[in-house]
Amino acid sequence: MTSTLYRGRLLSFRRAPRDAHDHDSYLFEEDGGLLVENGMIVAMGDFQAVRADAADDVEVIDHRPHLILPGLIDTHVHFPQMQVIGSYAANLLEWLDTYTFPEECRFVETAHATRIATQFFDEFFRQGTTTAVAYCSVHKASADAFFAESLKRGSLMIAGKVMMDRGAPQGLLDTAQIGYDETRQVIADWHGRGRNHVAITPRFAITSTPEQMGAAQTLAREFPDLYIQTHLSENRDEIAYTCSLYPDAADYTDIYDRYGLLGQKSLFGHAIHLSEREADALSDSGSVLVHCPTSNLFLGSGLFPMRTYQRRDKPLRIAVATDIGGGTSYSMLKTLDEAYKIQQLLGERLNPLESAYMMTRGNAEALSLEDRIGTLEPGTDADFIVVDSAATPAMKLRMETVRSIGEELFLLQALGDDRAIAETYVAGRPMKSVAGGTD
Ligand code: GUN
Ligand code: ZN
């Protein structure tokens, strides 16, 4: 049995913080010990106490003075969009047609999908993100490449072959039947292999015919435990066009509702412009809205009314994500920095504890996976990161005046990025310092 004890300043959330002073919401160990055996966390607490209970010959890796946090979780990304990040477009639909759809056509080539999958995992681990919820392309080969790489690295990933049978170039279309058959095949090939989860992934209502939405509904019925991911109410023109394609539906949300796609494992990307009726339906079903701040600002889609959604009589579940490549940063630190600024523009506050909670335990709860990832609790998977809050000269200087963990987290969010991630461990194996994640 391999047993390693990591020493550092440990931070792990127990629940959502109520405000910036809710110190009971998290555990912070100034001189902490995290004991890892066979890819699992087996003990966590004061270093000397954990050391005393561990085997005499346990290997100790000293990461002081750095922080040790749970691995970051990104709940909405597009794996085939790494090479269109920062493409100049007026809005969502222009961006999709001009850059994104042509780019995704390239993933028909297995060699290309395999190459980008390697890059994807290298980059996400470099950024401290250990779990991502990803859209592959329409091609089954892209899902195969993604899951094969995840299996190799030992990571917990959620991904799906995109279903889309209209409204895009021919090279990016399946059919209702092919989308169904290939999704079933991806499930058979990959779901539950290693730590992989498959998501049913109709891209959005614009690119799926009613027949294909029906196929997604059949899959959801046949595999009720699977995640479902799609896009909802990102942009005003998108909403108007979508509703014109489904004239019988009451609104955009109702389209998905009619096909049985709302539920506790359903993830709706963006969801910026919702009516009260839609918000009620999403809340009643326990669906999750995925806020993608850098993407919403970059594409000019709108300001996500997070507090309004949370304060409702029927509150909404909210996750946060990069939305690479509509999003402009791989870093969850930068993503929460932009989320903060969006709330500032709306006259609301997003406190540093809450931001740190959202990118770890909060996103894990949104995925109903907090018993596996998102914390440093014993019994969970050993996905964790080592964070250097003085990684750059500017951060080092600012750290001289930092007086609390809350201030430090806020500094990390404001000035930090991949440079602040000193190491990333996936199932107890170092992934940042070791190219390709092999040791
Ligand atoms: N809506 C449908 N597809 C996409 C996509 O790839 N990115 C974003 N931001 N929105 C979408
Ligand atoms: Zn998206």
CA separation for the pair 325, 317 (Å, rounded):
24
According to DSSP, the β-strands at 384-387 and 317-320 are: unpaired
pLDDT bracket for residue 206 (50, 70, 90)? very high
Average pLDDT rounded to a whole number, residues 172-181: 98
| Nearest ligand 1 atom, CA 81 | 6
Cβ–Cβ under 8 Å, residues 13 and 355: no
**What's the mean pLDDT when you consider all of the chain?**
97
Residue 324: name the closest of 116, 173, 111 by CA.
116
The answer for 66, left when phi > 0, alpha when psi is -120 to 50, beta otherwise, is beta
Is the confidence at residue 309, as pLDDT, over 80?
Answer: yes
pLDDT for 91-131, tens place per residue?
A: 999 999 999 999 999 999 999 999 999 999 999 999 999 99
Ligand 1 lined by 234 (C-beta under 6 Å): yes
CA separation for the pair 31, 42 (Å, rounded):
17
Q: Is the ipTM reported for this complex over the cut 0.90?
A: yes
pLDDT for 66-79, tens place per residue?
A: 999 999 999 999 99
pLDDT attached to residue 437: 47
| Nearest ligand 1 atom, CA 207 | 2
Average pLDDT rounded to a whole number, residues 412-426: 98
Average pLDDT rounded to a whole number, residues 423-430: 98
pLDDT attached to residue 216: 98
CA separation for the pair 282, 314 (Å, rounded):
9
Residue nearest to atom 1 of ligand 1 (CA): 231
The Cα-based distances of 425 to 180, 266, 383, 388, 429 in angstroms read 35, 28, 5, 15, 5
Ligand 1 lined by 323 (C-beta under 6 Å): yes
Average pLDDT rounded to a whole number, residues 145-152: 98
Ligand 1 lined by 361 (C-beta under 6 Å): no
pLDDT attached to residue 2: 83
Please give the distance, rounded to the nearest whole angstrom, from the Cα atom of residue 261 to the centre of ligand 2.
17
pLDDT bracket for residue 434 (50, 70, 90)? confident
Q: Cα–Cα–Cα angle for 414, 326, 89, nearest 5°?
A: 110
User: pLDDT above 70 covers what percent of the chain?
Assistant: 99
Is the confidence at residue 439, as pLDDT, over 80?
Answer: no
Residue nearest to atom 11 of ligand 1 (CA): 231
| Nearest ligand 1 atom, CA 78 | 6
Could you tell which of 234, 299, 322 is best to mutate to test the pocket of ligand 1, judged by most ligand atoms within 8 Å of the CB?
A: 234
Ligand 1 lined by 78 (C-beta under 6 Å): yes
Ligand 1 lined by 231 (C-beta under 6 Å): yes
pLDDT bracket for residue 433 (50, 70, 90)? confident
Nearest ligand, CA of residue 234? 1
End-to-end CA distance of the chain: 17
Ligand 1 lined by 203 (C-beta under 6 Å): yes
Residue nearest to atom 8 of ligand 1 (CA): 326
Residue nearest to atom 3 of ligand 1 (CA): 203
pTM for the predicted model, two decimal places = 0.98
| Nearest ligand 1 atom, CA 231 | 1
